[in-house]
């Protein structure tokens, strides 16, 4: 049972690593868009938007996976799960929820930029804020991942 509990608790960090890689790949867009022209640019923008929406859903899944894996872990090890086992009681857990709020805001900025671009309205402000927020989030994600790595030792 201990091996199963270890596997279950590792599901969240492993899935998170995949999402971090996708998020970092998504950010390459900022350098790539400079060299694109008209039709190619439109296709790349569409791909960027679709990937962003998919990453947003994956982030929600990874956060849900964190809660589900904790429930299963405590069920395996203790036989019961209390509310205090599920509610984050450390900075890593609360930072994950804050990260979700930042992802919601990042997505909203991207959607506003996209809508304004399609409506032929000014969109640079939203687009630039969207890009800058993603820059900040990279650092926050790395700190969050490192804290999660340290927090993982409390389970292993």
pLDDT digits (tens, 9 = 90+) for 123-152: 999 999 999 999 999 999 999 999 999 988
Q: For residue 117, how many other CB atoms are within 10 A of its CB?
A: 17
Distance CA 31, CA 19 (A): 20
Residue 150 has a CB neighbour count (10 Å cut-off) of: 11
Domains: count for the chain: 1
pLDDT higher for 35 or 93? 93
The whole-chain average pLDDT of the chain stands at 92
Quick one: pLDDT at residue 1?
A: 66
Average pLDDT estimate for 98-121: 96
What values do phi and psi take at 150, rounded to 5?
-65, -40
Spell out the alpha helix ranges (H) of the chain. Answer: 2-27, 29-32, 38-78, 83-86, 91-118, 124-152
Percent of the chain with pLDDT over 90: 67
Whether 81 shows a pLDDT value over 90: the answer reads no
Per residue in 17-63, pLDDT (tens digit) is 999 999 999 988 888 888 888 778 888 899 999 999 999 999 999 99
CB distance 29 to 44 below 8 Å: yes
DSSP 3-state assignment of 128? helix
Closest among 136, 138, 131 to 32, alpha carbons compared? 131
The proportion of the chain whose per-residue pLDDT surpasses 70, expressed as a percent, equals 99
Q: What is the pTM of this model?
A: 0.88
Q: Provide the residue range defining the domain that includes 145.
A: 2-152
């Amino acid at each position: 049972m201990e091996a199963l509990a270890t596997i279950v608790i590792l599901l969240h960090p492993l899935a998170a690593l995949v999402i971090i890689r996708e998020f970092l790949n998504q950010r390459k867009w900022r350098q790539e868009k400079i060299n694109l022209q008209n039709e190619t640019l439109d296709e790349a923008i569409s791909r960027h938007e679709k990937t962003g929406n998919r990453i947003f859903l994956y982030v929600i899944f990874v956060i849900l996976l964190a809660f589900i894996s904790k429930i299963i872990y405590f069920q395996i090890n203790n036989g019961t799960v209390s509310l205090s086992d599920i509610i984050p009681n450390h900075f890593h857990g609360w930072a994950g929820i804050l990260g979700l709020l930042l992802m919601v805001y990042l997505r909203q900025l991207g959607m506003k930029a996209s809508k304004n671009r399609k409506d032929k309205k000014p969109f640079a402000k939203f687009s630039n804020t969207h890009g800058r927020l993603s820059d900040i989030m990279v650092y926050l994600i790395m700190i969050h991942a490192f804290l999660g790595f340290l927090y993982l030792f409390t389970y292993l």
